[in-house]
Amino acid sequence: MDGGDGREVPAPYAAPYSGNYAVNYGFDRNGPLNGWSIGLNGNYLGRYIVAYIGDQVLRGGETFSLHGTMAYPHQGLAAIRHVPA
């Protein structure tokens, strides 16, 4: 990606490589973890130019983020019943 002066644009969105991922696994309903699921998600951002200082190029490091989830389905507020006093 080139800027107006022919040099690369200095910004994270101009990284040459980037990507997102998400994976989820639901456990067997007949096993000990009945109904539970676990997941991983995140993204990768390749090295990019942060700024130009004169003719020197200041590059940012690449990042790889990882997030985890664990879930169990429930009825939430639908399970709460109003009991008159």
Report the number of distinct structural domains present in the chain.
Answer: 1
Q: Which of 32, 22, 21, 23 is nearest to 72 (CA)?
A: 32
Query: What are the per-10-residue average pLDDT scores of the chain (85 residues)?
Result: 57 78 91 90 87 82 91 69 60
> What pLDDT score was predicted for residue 38?
95
* Residue 39: inside a domain: yes
| Residue keyed to tokens 């080139």 | 2
What ranges make up the beta strands (E) of the chain? 18-26, 37-45, 48-53, 56-60, 63-64, 67-71
* Residue 3: inside a domain: no
> What pLDDT score was predicted for residue 4?
47
Q: Are 43 and 18 in contact (CB under 8 A)?
A: yes
In which domain, by residue range, is 41 found? 12-73
Q: What is the pTM of this model?
A: 0.57
